[in-house]
């Protein structure tokens, strides 16, 4: 029943999106920043409805760790389709997500993602992948945060997949803060019992900011595994909750 309600809401939202796209396009003619901010508010409201229909009970820890008034590189584990809605409604900064290129083929969704400064990554083409990382670097310089799941895909096992080091070039080249993000129990909403959507308690924790230039040489050399170890500690701690 929850799954059907979510699908019906998405269909309604996509219909409503047609006039909203026109409004956002007009706003963008005057101010790109205002367009991003307006689009994020609309999408966040839609995600709140989806999480309500799914019965998700969200606990957020560590929002005070996010530096104010500066762009952030959020680094998260990835377990569920619901990770993005759960994370997005919890973020205090204007943020674009890095997603696989296949998502960019979905009508309506790709338009909202472009309004939101999201980037589409080709995981099979190293050259195109580096171009996407360079785009992310420019977005950080322009003041927009980036949210990346360096595992590269949703992980169905108990242990995280190795983090792809290229994701961390964004922070290394810009000096922005890295915020580790631990998403706990999100796969129990849907993935553990497809096609049912079940009311679930989830925990999202923001770790303390990490500035690459403040790490020692060894930590910078293995920054991917360094950040992943921090996320793993948060996941281990929050699983019991």
The answer to whether residues 73 and 209 touch, using CB atoms and an 8 Å cutoff, is no
pLDDT of residue 1: 87
What confidence score (pLDDT) does residue 96 get?
Answer: 95
What is the rounded average pLDDT of the residues 185-200? 93
Choose which CATH entry (3.30.1050, 3.40.1130, 2.40.160, 1.20.1330) describes domain 2-239.
Answer: 3.40.1130
Residue of 154 and 30 predicted with greater confidence: 30
Question: pTM, whole model, 2 decimals?
Answer: 0.94
Q: Token pair 């910078």 is at which residue?
A: 220
Determine the average pLDDT of the residues in 128-154: 89
Give per-residue pLDDT as tens, 17-66.
Answer: 999 999 999 999 999 999 999 999 999 999 999 999 999 999 999 999 99
Residues in the chain: 241
Q: Which two tokens stand for residue 234?
A: 């948060």
Alpha helices in 89-208 (DSSP H): 109-115, 126-141, 169-174
Q: Tens of pLDDT along 75-127?
A: 999 989 999 999 999 999 999 999 888 888 888 999 999 999 999 988 777 78
**Residue 159 scores a pLDDT above 80:** no
Instruction: Give me the helix-helix angle, 2-30 and 32-54, nearest 10°.
Output: 170
- Residue percentage of the chain with pLDDT more than 70: 98
């Amino acid at each position: 029943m929850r799954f059907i309600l979510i699908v019906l809401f998405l269909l309604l939202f996509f219909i409503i999106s047609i006039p909203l796209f026109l409004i956002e396009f007009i706003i963008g003619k005057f101010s790109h920043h205002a367009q991003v901010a307006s689009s994020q508010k609309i999408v966040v409201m839609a995600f709140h409805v989806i999480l309500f229909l799914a019965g998700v009970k969200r606990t957020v820890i560590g929002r005070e760790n996010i530096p104010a008034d500066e762009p952030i590189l959020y680094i998260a584990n990835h377990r569920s389709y619901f990770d993005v809605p759960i994370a997005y409604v919890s973020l205090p900064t204007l943020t674009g997500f890095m997603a696989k290129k296949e998502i960019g083929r979905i009508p309506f969704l790709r338009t909202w993602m472009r309004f939101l400064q999201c980037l589409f990554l080709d995981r099979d083409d190293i050259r195109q992948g580096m171009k996407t990382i360079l785009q992310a670097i420019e977005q950080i310089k322009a003041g927009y945060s980036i949210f990346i799941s360096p595992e590269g895909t949703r992980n169905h096992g108990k242990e995280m997949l190795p983090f792809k080091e290229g994701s961390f070039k964004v922070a290394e080249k810009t000096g922005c803060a890295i915020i580790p993000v631990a998403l706990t129990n999100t796969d129990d909403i849907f993935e553990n019992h497809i096609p049912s959507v079940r009311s679930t308690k989830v925990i999202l924790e923001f770790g303390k900011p990490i500035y690459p230039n403040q790490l020692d040489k060894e930590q910078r050399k293995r920054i991917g595994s360094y950040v992943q170890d921090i996320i793993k500690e948060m996941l281990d701690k929050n699983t019991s909750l």
